[in-house]
């Protein structure tokens, strides 16, 4: 089981500041032509939808 500290470190390594609209390009590329995009805490565990 991953510790909270390890998960926090992983989040820090994978995150970056959004300083312009261009910073959203990687997210938009992952979204592609999806009809629904779920973001946030409430969307965790809903990968099957």
Over the stretch 10-47, which tens digit does the pLDDT of each residue have?
888 888 888 999 999 988 999 999 999 887 766 566 66
pLDDT of residue 21: 94
Query: Residue 49: pLDDT above 90?
Result: no
DSSP string, 2-25: --HHHHHHHHHHH-----SGGGGH
User: Residue 15, class by beta-carbon neighbours within 10 Å (0-12 exposed, 13-18 middle, 19+ buried)?
Assistant: exposed
Cα–chain-centroid distance for residue 35?
A: 17
Query: Residue 1: pLDDT above 80?
Result: no
pLDDT of residue 23: 92
pLDDT of residue 33: 96
């Amino acid at each position: 089981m991953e510790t909270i500290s390890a998960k926090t470190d992983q989040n820090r390594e994978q995150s970056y500041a959004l300083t312009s609209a261009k910073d959203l390009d990687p997210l938009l590329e992952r979204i592609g032509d999806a009809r629904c995009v779920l973001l946030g805490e409430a969307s965790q565990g809903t990968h099957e939808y």
